[in-house]
Amino acid sequence: MGLLQEKLAKYDLPQQFMAKGVYPYFREIEGKQGTEVEMGGHEVLMFGSNAYTGLTGDERVIEAGIKAMHKYGSGCAGSRFLNGTLDLHVQLEKELAAFVGKDEALCFSTGFTVNSGVIPALTDRNDYIICDDRDHASIVDGRRLSFSQQLKYKHNDMADLEKQLQKCNPDSVKLIIVDGVFSMEGDLANLPEIVRLKHKYNATIMVDEAHGLGVFGKQGRGVCDHFGLTHEVDLIMGTFSKSLASIGGFIAADSSIINWLRHNARTYIFSASNTPAATASALEALHIIQNEPERLEALWEATNYALKRFREAGFEIGATESPIIPLYVRDTEKTFMVTKLAFDEGVFINPVIPPACAPQDTLVRVALMATHTKEQIDRAVEKLVKAFKALDLL
């Protein structure tokens, strides 16, 4: 065994759980993702998907992708900067900008590359990037690629955010970056207070709406719209891989910022552009969300019902205010074990362990879709109660 393999073996936690038969990742799905999926030859209730609007299997979205494939082919064979810009990309950007209330938008090949490319392009050595300590990994990687001074504040702790702002040179750019909805805990950023501090310290705000679009605000416009603060947020990021039933992402801002990013964001300039099928599918999903308000109503009906059921059953679910419901376990091995027990009972959920959370905050993550029924939620709660009780967690 070489030195690299020896070093990696010391930290190979997955291998340990593989040996115990409770490794829960990379499980194979054998068909479309909906509220029930085919896995290992049998149906499993899907409560681990981020498809909040329930559109990943919608025939209109699928047909839009097929038509785009016929018209444009399977790919663009280049970056947006060179030969990879389609009129379809530009149309989606215009409609996304209008949807989230900004001048312009730029589409990227993934949501992750939005954050990892935009963040380091915005500030320089004399500036500051300030993040919530539970921001998504893509934000973490984006700030790591920046030469700017980097500060973190305790999760949703506005007094600590103000302390970090007080450390900054008042004449430098101070970029506050925050998830609108925190992807593991399901709680919301305290955007009204962040905006107040923005004005007090002349800061700039970027909000990651990955889990807010299609869920919060008028027509699902996001957390910024939910709080009525779109005009106060300088940059809005979103992804297509959740409510928009595709793959890709975007950043929206005023024209000057977008023009700068168009020529300076490395993951935009040096990545192949998003496929025609993915772009068209996201565009169709955006149209459906805007034209079918009942879909958003159904999502919240399912969410509120599930929140009520889990609280009544005695689960610890924290401060979630969204279709993301964390069921806290607070033990890594039991987190994997309860995931396996739930799967054996026909319920797919996601285990969350470090580095996605603190070691003392391990959990299993339940996520709701607009297409979930009360009967499916009842079945899931019943099976999860059984799994938790088997491990003395409830």
pLDDT tens-digit series, residues 298-330? 999 999 999 999 999 999 999 999 999 999 999
CATH architecture of 57-289: 3-Layer(aba) Sandwich (3.40)
- Give the residue from 165, 122, 161 showing the smallest Cα distance to 142: 122
- Give the residue from 172, 176, 169 showing the smallest Cα distance to 197: 176
Cα gap 394→392, rounded to integer Å: 6
pLDDT at 356: 83
pLDDT tens for each residue of the chain, 394 residues long: 789 988 887 777 777 788 778 888 898 999 999 999 999 888 999 999 999 999 999 999 999 999 999 999 999 999 999 999 999 999 999 999 999 999 999 999 999 999 999 999 999 999 999 999 999 999 999 999 999 999 999 999 999 999 999 999 999 999 999 999 999 999 999 999 999 999 999 999 999 999 999 999 999 999 999 999 999 999 999 999 999 999 999 999 999 999 999 999 999 999 999 999 999 999 999 999 999 999 999 999 999 999 999 999 999 999 999 999 999 999 999 999 999 999 999 999 999 998 888 889 999 999 999 999 999 999 999 999 999 999 999 9
pLDDT at 52: 98
Beta bridge partners of 179: 208
Compute CA distances 146 → 128, 266, 356, whole Å: 10, 12, 21
Cα gap 11→158, rounded to integer Å: 35
Cα gap 270→249, rounded to integer Å: 15
- Give the residue from 287, 235, 233 showing the smallest Cα distance to 261: 235
- The answer to whether residues 56 and 33 touch, using CB atoms and an 8 Å cutoff, is yes
Tell me the CATH number for domain 11-45+292-388: 3.90.1150.10
Q: Sheet harboring 42-46: ordered strands across?
A: 36-39, 42-46, 347-348
- The answer to whether residues 177 and 122 touch, using CB atoms and an 8 Å cutoff, is no
pLDDT at 354: 86
Cα gap 229→193, rounded to integer Å: 11
pLDDT at 11: 73
Where along the chain do its domains lie?
Answer: 11-45+292-388, 57-289
Cα gap 280→270, rounded to integer Å: 22
- Give the residue from 34, 44, 113, 123 showing the smallest Cα distance to 344: 44
Q: Residue 162 corresponds to which tokens in the numbers above?
A: 């103000």
- The answer to whether residues 255 and 103 touch, using CB atoms and an 8 Å cutoff, is yes
Compute CA distances 190 → 173, 224, 269, 338, whole Å: 21, 11, 33, 32
pLDDT tens-digit series, residues 56-94? 999 999 999 999 999 999 999 999 999 999 999 999 999
Cα gap 377→257, rounded to integer Å: 44
Compute CA distances 389 → 260, 370, 382, 385, whole Å: 54, 29, 11, 6
- The answer to whether residues 47 and 366 touch, using CB atoms and an 8 Å cutoff, is yes
- The answer to whether residues 53 and 47 touch, using CB atoms and an 8 Å cutoff, is no
Cα gap 243→369, rounded to integer Å: 9
**Fold equal for 11-45+292-388 and 57-289:** no
